């Protein structure tokens, strides 16, 4: 039986951080043996919030390097840039005729973005980005979408697009299923609930041990624990959340030491920095390999783009035939 197919992607906005690894990449690497994966560098999606394209190519290369260094195998899972497969825009246009503006305005994910980014007049393309996402998935006949609870509305729109197209023109698309995945989140160095590059509270996959150490030194911990001897509250401390993820074997001892005051924050941070750097070491090694062989990275993208274009064109041939546009 043919493997089910997954389309997963990220917007190329710069070097990736540990939050990306824990929240997505780790899962992608696991899924690549079980599913047929396509990995999309969603460069068109960047335009929804940033019209400046000066860094988009370099950011796409950095993202490809981070993916490869984290264990994505391009032989199994093609990596490609969305902008290099023009069929995305063609299917997006067709789908955008099958959905109303009011349906998109009701999408809770779009509503959250409008609120969080304080957008007064949303761009037409931003409002319609879930339709572009539907085109991204269905172009490759993606039948499984791994998502967290907050992204279920996007899969609903992809399912709706498949249904509407099939009803109007004849069957082309299976409705993709949701693979509800518990995506882990890492706290930010500033104590924020989420690690995010734009908030400046992240540890990059490319950070050398000295940088990890200096970032952790400045990290916010329990503000009530001023010096060694003061009892602390590990449950509100980002450093403890990293210990739980990267130093699992010592968490009981660290928690007890923090609560009793026997463990000081400086020692705790240095222990944590060393564990994070050990975790990053193989990723950094592979990153260095690819950074010194950019032609190899570009070749991975070229090959991925060829595979993606061939798959996308085969879907669009069916679409055009059903629509009598062939």
- 31-60 residues near ligand SF4, rule: CB under 6 A: none
CA contacts within 13 A on the Cβ side of 160:
18
Between 171 and 266, name the residue whose CB sits nearer to ligand SF4. 266
Binding segment for ligand SF4 among 39-47, 88-96, 168-176, 235-243 (CB under 6 A)? 235-243
Binding segment for ligand SF4 among 103-111, 237-245, 284-292, 298-306 (CB under 6 A)? 237-245
Between 248 and 285, name the residue whose CB sits nearer to ligand SF4. 248
Give min distance, CB of 265 to ligand SF4, in A. Answer: 3
DSSP 2: P
Task: Choose, by CB under 6 A, the member of 265, 276, 280, 301 that binds ligand SF4.
Answer: 265
Interaction between residue 247 and ligand SF4 (CB under 6 A): no
Give min distance, CB of 67 to ligand SF4, in A. Answer: 31
How many angstroms separate the first and last alpha carbons of the chain? 31
Residue with token string 């998109």: 104
Interaction between residue 188 and ligand SF4 (CB under 6 A): no
Binding segment for ligand SF4 among 17-25, 134-142, 173-181, 265-273 (CB under 6 A)? 265-273
Rounded to 10°, the helix 265-291/56-70 angle is 110
Interaction between residue 287 and ligand SF4 (CB under 6 A): no
Between 89 and 214, name the residue whose CB sits nearer to ligand SF4. 214
- 67-106 residues near ligand SF4, rule: CB under 6 A: none
CA contacts within 13 A on the Cβ side of 188:
13
Between 142 and 232, name the residue whose CB sits nearer to ligand SF4. 232
Interaction between residue 222 and ligand SF4 (CB under 6 A): yes
Residue with token string 């950011």: 59
- C-alpha span between 105 and 128 (Å, rounded): 9
Interaction between residue 276 and ligand SF4 (CB under 6 A): no
- CB-neighbour burial class of residue 44 (10 A; exposed 0-12, middle 13-18, buried 19+): buried
Q: DSSP letters of 7-38?
A: EEEE---SS-BHHHIIIIIHHHHHHHHHSEEE
What stretch of H or E contains 180?
A: strand 177-180
The CA dihedral of 138, 140, 146, 149, to the nearest 10 degrees, is -20
Binding segment for ligand SF4 among 73-81, 86-94, 232-240, 295-303 (CB under 6 A)? 232-240
Give min distance, CB of 250 to ligand SF4, in A. Answer: 11
Is 282 strand, coil or helix? helix
Interaction between residue 245 and ligand SF4 (CB under 6 A): no
Is 192 strand, coil or helix? coil
Task: Choose, by CB under 6 A, the member of 16, 204, 258, 312 that binds ligand SF4.
Answer: 258
Give min distance, CB of 23 to ligand SF4, in A. Answer: 22
Q: What are φ and ψ of residue 102, in 5° steps?
A: -65, -35
Rounded to 10°, the helix 238-246/265-291 angle is 60
Task: Choose, by CB under 6 A, the member of 237, 280, 283, 300 that binds ligand SF4.
Answer: 237
Q: Which residues bind ligand SF4 (CB under 6 A)?
A: 221-222, 225, 232, 234, 237, 239-240, 258, 263, 265, 268-269
């Amino acid at each position: 039986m043919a493997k089910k197919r997954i389309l997963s992607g990220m917007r190329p906005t710069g070097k990736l951080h540990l939050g990306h690894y824990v929240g997505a990449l780790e899962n992608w690497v696991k899924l690549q043996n079980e599913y047929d994966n396509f990995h999309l560098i969603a460069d068109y999606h960047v335009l929804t919030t940033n019209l400046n394209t000066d860094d988009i190519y370099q950011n796409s290369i950095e993202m490809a390097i981070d993916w490869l260094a984290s264990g994505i195998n391009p032989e199994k899972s093609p990596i490609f840039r969305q902008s290099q497969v023009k069929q995305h825009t063609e299917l997006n246009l067709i789908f955008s005729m099958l959905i109303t503006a009011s349906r998109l305005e009701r999408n809770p994910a779009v509503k959250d973005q409008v609120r969080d980014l304080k957008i007064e007049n949303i761009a037409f393309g931003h409002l319609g980005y879930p339709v572009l996402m539907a085109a991204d998935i269905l172009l490759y006949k993606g039948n499984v979408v791994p998502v967290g609870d907050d992204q279920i509305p996007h899969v609903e729109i992809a399912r709706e697009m498949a249904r509407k197209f099939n009803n109007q023109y004849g069957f082309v698309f299976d409705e993709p299923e949701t693979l509800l995945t518990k995506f882990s989140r890492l706290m930010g160095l500033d104590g924020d609930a989420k690690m995010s590059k734009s908030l400046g509270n992240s540890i990059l996959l490319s950070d050398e041990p000295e940088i990890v150490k200096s970032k952790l030194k400045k990290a916010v911990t329990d503000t009530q624990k001023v010096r060694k001897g003061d009892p602390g509250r590990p449950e509100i401390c980002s450093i403890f959340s990293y210990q739980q993820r990267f130093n699992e074997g010592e968490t009981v001892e660290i928690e007890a030491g923090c609560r009793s005051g026997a463990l000081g924050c400086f020692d705790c941070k240095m222990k944590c920095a060393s564990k994070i750097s050990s975790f990053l070491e193989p990723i950094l090694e592979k990153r260095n390999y690819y950074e010194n062989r950019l032609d190899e990275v570009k070749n991975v993208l070229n090959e991925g783009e060829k595979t993606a274009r061939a798959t996308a064109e085969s879907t669009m041939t069916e679409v055009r035939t059903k629509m009598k546009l062939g």
